[in-house]
Structure 1
């Protein structure tokens, strides 16, 4: 149990009750952090879906409104892309701002790991223009003098992008565990120490697991963003603007929320399923990520921008960007159930084959799903941390069942 020694240092001087709570939280946290290293999904009971065709607003209300009325989240925005290319937006609850208004299509939310979809798209454009190859290994990509174990040296760009590098979600060391225990009580970012030096140092002694399967990795995407920046000589912010948000006209998507339109009326994050020792519905701090983890989880965006991003993946667009986005959603590691594309998960849900991403960070939950067969997409942004993202899957099923919904 050497990983808990540092936690013991932080417990000195506390009451026995507080020590017990924190020790239990540490053990639970270790289990949670280990368990979260895999890609997951939620099962949906088909009987819970609205039966038969009806008005689209009524169908969305039945799925989304209970999340607010039952106290799962203070507010949320649902965005839907219909087969004819039109969009619909449905806001519920409140942004958490003093005016108490529901979130709208342009309300800013932290989107957590949906950031990886944008970073994967950036890298796909670099592969398209020849500045990177999916087969490039870290040994040839990182600056000279970077210490890499043999296993780390062999990790390729594609493995980083598809979560098949063998890297864990984050290093399970004393610092991470201590930070996670603190997070359970404060909501503060437990990744804040994972800067470039810490992540690169981890690679010096990295040993890959025996069987390399999709294993969700925040530090893997941090490395991917670092590689893109090193190879291009551009910051991650510049790469995003030049290669994705600029060409697609996404004006409310960026890594620095304060620079985006609507920052003052953004959705405020709240506790939900986590942090465990903060009351559900209480506000929690925004997270700020280090340089290397920016491309992994630091983006803010809006429902309108995210639907535009999804729509760009559905176009038959024979341009460099169009080919790059098509490449990003191409399945690389077929599996009996889930399969890994670049940042996206391909899965069979409720009789549909869908491609989706989920982001959970600080006090926010985000979902973006695409059904290529029916040319539809769904985005759901909540201003609370909740594990269950099945509402997005359910809405894609409803759209497939009622493919002729009018705009």
Structure 2
């Protein structure tokens, strides 16, 4: 008799074989069904309107830049040409389509200050202590800050109220509005409690410009919005530029904000932060009027473009407006961004060229606008989604399915390192896997990651759920403490469902 001999392979039990076949079938079905749902970067829908040559130039410069709707206006040799991409409010984008302006609105707040100073209604050296005599500022240096320094971002105030960092985190995660409900009183209280560094220099501050708006309102006895309408917007004929502090006030036909993955997000509404650009909407037509009047000096408060303070290498800031020297070309400009819209306005005094760009995306359009003006700046990448978010996206797509696969193949007897599975844990793991898939779909770096990875994750998750569910009759309800086990699983399920709601809740 030989010492060694071949041993016939023991066939898998029929139940186990059926379980694996069912899991494979579920994975195939999930993969096929998920194909039309696969995420991807935002892309504008047809039609394309306006000047054909400008549209082609814009497409070439934008490359893979993600957006759902875009409006472009370019002035060369004194003539404006426009192009629109995608739809807004069920109609093609045109120069009259309203977009959020974000911080572009700071230029109007700065021009309002320049106009009031020029008319002698506010002194150039007016301080916060002068504007708010009944307010105690914790930092006396801040109380001595002038309104011009607020507009030029020289106050040392933080960008927003630091005490609301946690309160604003949930709206950001759910693509909501981090400024919702904030009033002028909230702005004053946040500034009054702030401490600023000595000789702060340039530090971009939404809080500071918002405080400036309320200071001008207090000094003139006129609400900020009415003051802006009467002194700047009205004379310029910018009738389509509005402050919308509630959903009902959003202009008809507006381009609703979307992120770089094409997910609809909430506009921003805040009366308190409106002077810095929350709640503000405008059109390409209105913004071209603004640039024409600012460039020829006829606009109220046109002196706001004159440089007053250094703002970094090659850049100076006036009252709101920035001036940058790029490759020997001087450009007067400002950008803007909200939760799902980006804007850029600028002009080159030497050549007379000017540009207005507004788009529904979370990727800045500054480089695109500068290049339209002829500035020698690097092309913006297709997305600002970096390697960290790319790695997290891949992990979210695959981790849940891989974990379920491990649960579905874990020994029922268990060990100290690999405890035996149970029903509560299997349900918890399944819900968690589906939640992280939803999170990856909504927040993933889909401008960089192939959408097929999400489809693979969906198939792998279906495979793991089916494999684990096939053992359901043989599993106990829970293991360990009879009350603690289900409670932990319940908390895990609740947390996972909350994540899924944050990712998928319609805005």
Q: Which bracket does the TM-score occupy, shorter chain normalised?
A: 0.7 to 0.9
Query: Displacement, 1:296?
Result: 1.1
2:58 is matched with 63
The answer as to 2:257 corresponding to 1:269 is yes
The answer as to 2:106 corresponding to 1:116 is yes
Query: Displacement, 1:388?
Result: 4.5
2:489 is matched with none
CA 1:221–1:316 in structure 2 vs 1: closer, same or farther (change >3 Å)? closer
Query: Quick one: which of 177, 190, 197 aligns to 2:166?
Result: 177
1:367/1:392 contact within 8 Å kept: yes
Query: Displacement, 1:213?
Result: 1.8
Cα separation, 1, equivalents of 2:338 and 2:149: 23
Q: Which has the higher contact order (CA 8 A, sep 6+)?
A: 1
Query: Quick one: which of 119, 122, 145 aligns to 1:129?
Result: 119
1:167 is matched with 157
1:199/1:219 contact within 8 Å kept: yes
Alignment of 1:360-371 (within 5 A): 360-371=337-348
Query: Quick one: which of 295, 299, 305 aligns to 1:329?
Result: 305
1:349 is matched with 326
1:296 is matched with 276
Query: Displacement, 1:195?
Result: 2.8
Unaligned runs of 5+ in 1: 1-55, 273-279, 400-407
Query: Aligned with 1:387: secondary structure?
Result: coil
Q: How many residues align?
A: 324
2:85 is matched with 92
Query: Aligned with 1:369: secondary structure?
Result: strand
2:102/2:343 contact within 8 Å kept: yes
Query: Aligned with 2:83: secondary structure?
Result: strand
1:60/1:395 contact within 8 Å kept: no
Cα separation, 2, equivalents of 1:266 and 1:203: 33
Query: Displacement, 1:134?
Result: 2.4
Query: Displacement, 1:370?
Result: 1.3
Query: Aligned with 2:211: secondary structure?
Result: helix
Query: Aligned with 1:339: secondary structure?
Result: strand
1:133/1:157 contact within 8 Å kept: no
Cα separation, 2, equivalents of 1:247 and 1:260: 26
Query: Displacement, 1:365?
Result: 0.4
Alignment of 1:248-267 (within 5 A): 248-256=236-244, 263-267=251-255
Query: Aligned with 1:58: secondary structure?
Result: helix
**TM, length-normalised to structure 1:** 0.74
Query: Displacement, 1:198?
Result: 2.8
CA 1:200–1:370 in structure 2 vs 1: closer, same or farther (change >3 Å)? same
CA 1:284–1:227 in structure 2 vs 1: closer, same or farther (change >3 Å)? same
Query: Displacement, 1:140?
Result: 1.1
Q: How large is the RMSD of aligned CA atoms in angstroms?
A: 2.5
**TM, length-normalised to structure 2:** 0.60
Query: Aligned with 2:186: secondary structure?
Result: helix
Q: Deviations over 1:320-355 (max 9, x none)?
A: x55x21x10000014541111111111112431101
Query: Quick one: which of 209, 212, 222 aligns to 2:210?
Result: 222
Cα separation, 2, equivalents of 1:167 and 1:221: 10
Cα separation, 2, equivalents of 1:292 and 1:261: 16
Cα separation, 2, equivalents of 1:316 and 1:284: 37
2:327/2:375 contact within 8 Å kept: no
CA 1:170–1:133 in structure 2 vs 1: closer, same or farther (change >3 Å)? same
1:14 is matched with none
CA 1:386–1:147 in structure 2 vs 1: closer, same or farther (change >3 Å)? same
1:149/1:203 contact within 8 Å kept: no
Query: Aligned with 1:397: secondary structure?
Result: coil
Which structure has the bigger radius of gyration? Answer: 2
1:75/1:102 contact within 8 Å kept: no
Query: What stretches of structure 1 move > 6 A for 4+ residues in a row?
Result: 257-262
Query: Quick one: which of 72, 94, 101 aligns to 1:78?
Result: 72
